[in-house]
Amino acid sequence: MAKRRALSNYLKMFRKRSGLSQEELGFLLGGNFGTQVARFECGRRTPSFEALVRYEIIFKATALDLFTGAHERLADDVCERARKLHRELDAVEPFTPAVKQKLEFLVDLMYPPRKRRTKPAA
Amino acid sequence: MTIPTYHPIETERILAVDPLPRGFAFAVLEEDPFRLVDWGVATTPRKEPLGMLASLDRVIRRYDPSVLVTEEPQSARLLRRAALSAFLESAAEIVLAGSFPIATYSRRAIREAFAPMGARTKLEIARVIAERFPELRSRLPRPRRIWESEDARMSVFDAVSLAITHLAAAGSRLPRDG
């Protein structure tokens, strides 16, 4: 059976678990209406940095828990960019300790251990 | 240097639907991690018979399920069977567009799935579900008296029980925590 990637966000799940209405959560987020919350939940609007921090405080959850799909998408992008940068730096001459330090840092970014697992060897 | 291949974590996302006379109750469960993502009842006015399909389409678009689970019409009682058949028929178009299968389970299959947890009646099954998902505790109806019709809130528990039955049938281990 075809599996699915994580949803872009799990804001609605956390809100419903808490029992709060959209209006009540909107108030906690610093506004007065639930409309904004509805837009965040269906992905029509991206929360501001302040709203994101408030979400983390309210639900005691990390940005990764709240925005799993979006986090994975951005992690993919960072990973891809780290690969490109790694390729460029790898070709740099001379190979100084500073370049080595950067390459080691980029390798960690290229293979994040937390959200990914290696495919079994064919 | 050999670069290993990585892929994102994927999960089975189950959309369970319990058709009602004017709408449907639904539950969205994810297998890994095992959690209840969304639940609720979508009702439509009598004047808008296509409203139910529009609501179902919205839920499907939002959650992109890997399978749609509902009750098996053949094993249901006469009126319920007609409602389930009508639902499956009208939902077929949406489901075909969504490229995911439909799984159906009888009431007996649901009871068998919950028997190891010591639940046989609908209320006992609902209690087991509320214990596993505390977010549903406030929706748990009180025991029904013989002259009363079923509490409308029970339909959400029916939808969740269908999803759990599907996982049990697929051989998934149902974790008790998180």
B83 in any annotated domain: yes
B175 in any annotated domain: no
pLDDT number for residue B1 = 44
pLDDT number for residue A45 = 93
Scanning every residue of chain A, which has its alpha carbon at the shortest distance from the alpha carbon of B68? Answer: A1
Residue with tokens 């599907």: B166
Q: What CA–CA distance (Å, rounded) separates B122 from B119?
A: 8
Q: Give the residue from B77, B82, B89, B81 showing the smallest Cα distance to B52.
A: B89
Q: What CA–CA distance (Å, rounded) separates B49 from B17?
A: 17
Round to the nearest angstrom and report the end-to-end CA distance of chain A. 21
Select from A4, A72, A116 the Cβ nearest to the Cβ of B13.
A4
B178 in any annotated domain: no
**Best mutation target, B3, B7, B9, to test chain A (most A CBs within 10 A):** B9
Tokens of B58: 């919205």
Scanning every residue of chain B, which has its alpha carbon at the shortest distance from the alpha carbon of A3? Answer: B12
A-contacting residues of B 105-134, CB under 8 Å? Answer: none
Q: Which residues contact A109 (CB under 8 A, 6 or more apart)?
A: A78, A79, A82
- In chain A, residues with a C-beta closer than 8 Å to the C-beta of B11 are 3-4, 6
Q: Pairing mode, if any, of strands B102-105 and B67-71? A: parallel
- In chain B, residues with a C-beta closer than 8 Å to the C-beta of A7 are 37, 63-64
Cis peptide before B33 (omega within 30 of 0): yes
Confidence of residue A122 (pLDDT cuts 50, 70, 90): very low
**Average confidence score pLDDT of chain A:** 88
Tally of CB atoms within 10 A around B119: 20
Amino acid at B120: R
B98 in any annotated domain: yes
Percent of the residues in chain A that have a pLDDT greater than 70, as a whole number: 90
- In chain A, residues with a C-beta closer than 8 Å to the C-beta of B5 are 118-119
**Residue B61 touches chain A, beta carbons under 8 Å:** no
Q: How many structural domains are present in chain B?
A: 1
pLDDT number for residue A94 = 82
Stretch A21-45: mean pLDDT = 93
Q: Give the residue from B131, B130, B170 showing the smallest Cα distance to B32.
A: B170
- For the four alpha carbons of B174, B157, B71 and B9, in that order, the dihedral sign comes to negative
Q: Which residues contact B45 (CB under 8 A, 6 or more apart)?
A: B22, B51
B2 in any annotated domain: no
Q: Which residues contact B36 (CB under 8 A, 6 or more apart)?
A: A13, B27, B28, B29, B133, B135, B136, B160
Q: Which domain holds residue B115?
A: 13-169
Tokens of A18: 């808490």
**Best mutation target, B63, B135, B167, to test chain A (most A CBs within 10 A):** B135
Percent of the residues in chain B that have a pLDDT greater than 90, as a whole number: 42
Q: What CA–CA distance (Å, rounded) separates B61 from B23?
A: 17
CA distance B30 to chain A (A): 9
If one compares A95 and B94, the residue with the highest pLDDT of the two is A95
B151 in any annotated domain: yes
Stretch B65-81: mean pLDDT = 82
CA distance A106 to chain B (A): 13
B5 in any annotated domain: no
Residue B27 has pLDDT above 70, yes or no: yes
Domain containing B132 — which CATH number? 3.30.420.10
Select from B10, B63, B138 the Cβ nearest to the Cβ of A3.
B10
B6 in any annotated domain: no
B-contacting residues of A 49-108, CB under 8 Å? Answer: 72, 76, 79
If one compares B43 and A87, the residue with the highest pLDDT of the two is A87
Confidence of residue A112 (pLDDT cuts 50, 70, 90): low
CA distance B160 to chain A (A): 15
If one compares B51 and A28, the residue with the highest pLDDT of the two is A28
